[in-house]
Structure 1
Amino acid sequence: MQSSITGTAAGVPFTALPPPGDGPAPLIVTWHMLDAPRSDAAFAAALPMDGLPAWRVHLGMPMCGARMVDGSVDAVGELIREDVLMSFLHPFVRQATEELPAALASIRAQLPVEDGPIGVLGGSLGGAVALRVLADTEIPVFAGAVVNAAIRMRSVVELFPGDYPYDAESEKAVDSLDFLADADTIAGRAPLMVVSGELDHPGLRADALRLVDALGPESELLSISGLAHPLAEEPGIEPAPQLPLAREVDSGLTRWFRRHLAP
């Protein structure tokens, strides 16, 4: 991995990987998984996209990495036990999305990035953030990609034990994070690559295939044989050597973003 730059942007920790060469370059912003790799630094190591003529700035999700409470993920586990949707999944995606405009302005003040449209990339729950940026904001985006993403939040809730007790508020919240319903909006915003491990959770895998069908010809499916949900080994907090299957994902993402960067 190239030498990284660490810092904070409007309170959001980041790990930035510079492009080769000098001068301003386009920007790709990413959000990591809550499975391994579960920090911005670890995600940068798993999917560095080396050689791209663009800055790759990996943002930390709430309560992860440098924002962990007492240096552990125990606080996240407590939120999951409290209410997996309303205390954990929904507010995490909402906060990460709402942090982006101020973080983006801070990144542009700190790093020599161009002012044009950005690329967006998210893994797992971070994928929901990237999709929400496309579906619910007006931030210009030249291309996006998601990896084993939370495309339909009901499918994610179903991964946790027990039957979730939906009420009017939680039904509204979970429906606001159903990006199959937003496929037309997303397709009109930017081309999207959907990376899906063939061994990912069946519900998430099915959602990925459905999203590609709904998006139409501007989207692309990259199906990775042998890939389950994580992209790194546990504990997934510190940077670790890139796994072979993550390297395959990384290669596909690099090709995708290179194709859509301006000449």
Structure 2
Amino acid sequence: MAELVEGVAAGVPFVAVPPVDPAAPAALVAGWHLMDAPAGERAMAEAVPMAGLQAWRVYFGLPLSGARLPEGGSDEVFRRASEDAVLNVFEPVTEQAAGEFPAALAELRDRLPGATGPLGVFGGSAGAIVALEVLARGDAEIAAAAVASPVVQLAPMIAANERRFGLTYAWSERSRAVAARYDYVNRAAELTAPLLLVVGADDDVAVRQPAVALHEKLGSELVTVDGMAHEFPPGTPGAAGVDAAFTGWFARRLRD
């Protein structure tokens, strides 16, 4: 991998990888990691480097992760999630990350040499919710988007986590409203850029079925990675499959 540029843009930690030709104008591809592996901006850069693109690849750190973990660290995040995953984790992470994106993007356009070309966004799992929310809000002109292990509908994902952790989530009127807001099958009309969905063949049905539903509603591209569950840590076949799909997609879609 090319040498990483590491820093903070408008308060958001990031790592960035320069384009193949640093002297030429470049696209900018920005995205967000998973809460599972790869669970940080550097790990996401290692798992999905998208080498060969004439684009700056920017990997943002999510709120409540990495340098922005609360006091008590990951144990505190897990405690909050156990108390109310929707209202204490998914909503604040998504709202903060989507809300801070325009200012971070504007700063990076100025700071990264040649980053004047078209914009793509990407994400994995919880980071995919952020990418979809950014796309739906329309605060930036986005030429293409790609999401892997995507949480396309939040409610089924909460049910999957109930099975995973042996918990029962107590839905409230407010949390149901949040889940309705993060239902991108119902909000498909707001997703106006070309979208790639990448799912693991072995992922939970709570991820696979909504992704297929969104694919059918939008006519978007859907890629299934054999042997991949939800996570795709660096160096695994799953990561290689996601990287190949993202690289090919953005290479086609982000040409000037």
Query: In which range does the TM-score fall when normalised by the shorter chain?
Result: over 0.9
Q: Normalised by the size of structure 1, how large is the TM-score?
A: 0.91
In 1: Cα distance, 2:60 partner to 2:79 partner: 23
In 2: Cα distance, 1:115 partner to 1:173 partner: 35
> How many angstroms does 1:102 deviate by?
1.0
- Counterpart of 1:205, as a letter, is R
| Cα distance change of structure 1 residues 160 and 243 upon mapping to structure 2, 3 Å threshold | closer
1:138-184 CA-partner distances (Å, limit 9, x unpaired): 31100000000111010111123344322221221110000001112
> How many angstroms does 1:116 deviate by?
4.8
- Counterpart of 1:203, as a letter, is A
> How many angstroms does 1:113 deviate by?
4.2
Q: Is the 8 A contact 2:6 2:15 kept in 1?
A: yes
1:259 to 236, 252, 255: 252
> How many angstroms does 1:70 deviate by?
5.4
State the 4+ residue runs in structure 1 displaced beyond 6 angstroms: none
Q: Structure 1 stretches of 5 or more lacking a match?
A: 233-240
- Counterpart of 1:168, as a letter, is E
The aligned runs of 1:58-73 (5 Å cut-off) are 58-69=59-70, 72-73=73-74
Q: Is the 8 A contact 1:184 1:214 kept in 2?
A: no
Question: 1:204: which partner in 2?
Answer: 207
In 2: Cα distance, 1:172 partner to 1:252 partner: 33
Q: Is the 8 A contact 1:117 1:139 kept in 2?
A: no
> How many angstroms does 1:105 deviate by?
1.4
Q: Structure 2 stretches of 5 or more lacking a match?
A: none
Count of residues in correspondence between the two structures: 251
Q: CA RMSD in A?
A: 1.5
Q: Is the 8 A contact 1:116 1:140 kept in 2?
A: no
- Structure 1 stretch displaced more, 63-72 or 97-106: 63-72
Question: 1:236: which partner in 2?
Answer: none
Q: Normalised by the size of structure 2, how large is the TM-score?
A: 0.93
| Cα distance change of structure 1 residues 75 and 101 upon mapping to structure 2, 3 Å threshold | same
Question: 1:173: which partner in 2?
Answer: 178
> How many angstroms does 1:17 deviate by?
0.5
In 1: Cα distance, 2:92 partner to 2:70 partner: 16
In 1: Cα distance, 2:115 partner to 2:160 partner: 40
Q: Determine helix, strand or coil for the equivalent of 1:30.
A: strand
Q: Determine helix, strand or coil for the equivalent of 2:170.
A: coil
Question: 1:12: which partner in 2?
Answer: 12
In 2: Cα distance, 1:37 partner to 1:118 partner: 23
Question: 1:46: which partner in 2?
Answer: 47
Question: 2:109: which partner in 1?
Answer: 108
Q: Is the 8 A contact 1:29 1:58 kept in 2?
A: yes
- Structure 1 stretch displaced more, 158-167 or 249-258: 158-167
Q: Is the 8 A contact 1:122 1:130 kept in 2?
A: yes
1:242 to 220, 235, 252: 235
The aligned runs of 1:81-92 (5 Å cut-off) are 81-92=82-93
The aligned runs of 1:94-133 (5 Å cut-off) are 94-133=95-134
In 2: Cα distance, 1:11 partner to 1:172 partner: 29
> How many angstroms does 1:31 deviate by?
0.4
